[in-house]
Amino acid sequence: MSDKLISQLGFDPHAPDFMRALCQMSLDAGALIMTHFKNGVEEETKADKSPVTQADRDAEVLLETALAKIAPHVQVIGEEACSVHAPEKIDAAFFLLDPLDGTRDFVAKRDNFTVNIGLIVDRVPVAGVIYAPVHEKLYFSGTDAAYRLDIAPDGDLDIRQATRLRTQRITEKGVKVIASYSHRDSETQDIIEQLHVTKTIATASSYKFCLLAEGSADFYPRYGRTMEWDTAAGQAILEAAGGVVTFSDGKRFTYAKLERGLDNPSFIAAASDNWQDALK
């Protein structure tokens, strides 16, 4: 990122104080979501047939309010706001919010839903935070690594206590793949069959990117539909840890695709840039 853009932002997206603020608001959103989780929620259906709950809406308002205090001049694009009215233009720098990624898991009382905050500058993610409140795991990007902190939603945040995450090179001897057992499309199956797969992991939401960043998985091919807010924070974290997210042609995955309605095409997320070497 250029000095000019940093000056226009009004803050350093890699500064500890800024990252701590993003982490704290994700914990606060997680605490709010867990209140709904314990008390029960009613699922609704949006115009695009995806599920939504009051927890999604409440968490997005909390995040928007918190971001307005630390970065008032930066555009914020949230999933729930976009379901009502999509932005007509996108600035060079903007936040992407998925306040509750994995709503179906949330409603079903499963554990892999997450809070997501991603900062995009010049169409690429430069900072990201993901919080998984049931797992009590916080992931965030840094300048030369990603980090994980085990912390409850009401915990005392000290990001200096976080564990540094760096991915390892993928070897053809054994690849751990993230892919659904029950909703696996033919394209995903085709690429899995080209790998020496030793383990297949099924999980929901942006938690997939966290598993890649911490070394629990190597490879995540995605050919089904996703939105930009589903992937922005995860890409920032994975890239900081040494991984990659690319279009199917191998080019770095980018954002601000307003012409697509912020819909993502197919992508590959991997622990390292040599993932093609693992293909048979």
pLDDT in tens, 66-124: 999 999 999 999 999 998 888 999 999 999 999 999 999 999 999 999 999 999 999 99
User: 183 and 138 in one domain?
Assistant: no
pLDDT above 60 for 2? no
Residue 170 within any structural domain of the chain: no
Same domain, 117 and 189: no
Predicted confidence (pLDDT) per residue in 214-240, tens digit: 999 999 999 988 999 999 999 999 999
Instruction: Quick: pLDDT tens for 163-199.
Output: 999 998 888 778 899 986 556 788 888 888 888 888 8
Give the end of a domain, one of 109, 131, 165.
165
H-type alpha helices, 206-252 = 207-213, 228-240
Q: Are residues 10 and 144 in the same domain?
A: yes
CATH code for position 52: 3.30.540.10
Clarify whether residues 160 and 231 are in a common domain. Answer: no
Domain boundary among 142, 165, 188: 165
More confident residue, 26 or 5: 26
Domain extent at residue 122: 3-165
Q: Kindly tell me if the per-residue pLDDT of 60 is higher than 90.
A: yes
Mean pLDDT across the chain, nearest whole number? 92
Residues 123 and 239 in one domain: no
159-172: burial string, b at 16+ Cβ within 10 Å, e else = beebeebebeebee
pLDDT at 46 over 90: no
9 and 139 assigned to the same domain: yes
Its pTM stands at 0.95
The C-alpha atoms of residue 275 and residue 170 are separated, in whole angstroms, by 6
197: three-class secondary structure by DSSP: strand
Looking at the structure, tell me whether residues 15 and 51 fall in a common domain: yes
Q: What is the CATH number of the domain that holds 246?
A: 3.40.190.80
Confidence band for 6, pLDDT divided at 50, 70 and 90: low
As for how many domains the chain has, the answer is 2
